[in-house]
């Protein structure tokens, strides 16, 4: 089991746990996601953050941006400026699980959450 957490975010990953192998959470909320949702989440979030990294040097210091991306089962929006951003995700659950969720991390919890995803993914 791998557990990472900080102010306003947490990730608990336990692949041996079965179908709902990962718990992700924010301030006062958490959801368990499936192995497939975990794999697609990591790729999805990394792509969204990479888009921000490519764009941020083109922004003026006071300028803000909003990046949206959709890839089943996720929709995401990264809102912020050159140095900080929030992350909103919507999980559209599949028919077999009959559930979905809206997730949100404000800055700086969003940046810390994504860094934790990178550490867990690389380990």
User: Which CATH number belongs to the domain containing residue 8 in this structure?
Assistant: 2.30.31.10
List, for residues 21-71, the tens digit of each pLDDT value: 999 999 999 999 999 999 999 999 999 999 999 999 899 988 999 999 999
**Host domain of residue 46:** 2-122
Check pLDDT > 90 for residue 98: no
List, for residues 2-24, the tens digit of each pLDDT value: 999 999 999 999 999 988 999 99
- Distance separating alpha carbons of residues 92 and 114, to the nearest angstrom: 20
Contact 104, 26 (CB under 8 A): yes
Our count of domains for the chain comes to 1
CB neighbourhood size of 98 (10 A): 7
Kindly indicate the confidence band of residue 93, based on its pLDDT and cuts at 50, 70 and 90.
confident
Structure tokens at 42: 């990591």
Predicted local distance difference test score (pLDDT) of residue 95: 74
Averaged pLDDT for residues 77-102: 91
């Amino acid at each position: 089991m791998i557990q990472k957490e900080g102010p306003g975010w947490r990730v608990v990953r336990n692949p041996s746990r079965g179908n709902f192998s990962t718990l992700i959470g924010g301030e006062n909320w958490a959801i368990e996601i499936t192995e497939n949702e975990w794999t697609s989440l990591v790729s999805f979030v990394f792509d969204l953050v990479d888009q921000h990294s490519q764009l941020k040097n083109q922004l003026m210091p006071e300028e803000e941006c909003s990046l949206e991306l959709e890839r089943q089962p996720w929709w995401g929006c990264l809102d912020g400026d050159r140095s900080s951003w929030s992350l909103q995700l919507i999980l559209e659950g599949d028919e077999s699980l009959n559930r979905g969720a809206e997730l949100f991390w404000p800055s700086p919890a969003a940046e810390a959450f994504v860094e934790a995803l990178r550490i867990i993914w690389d380990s």
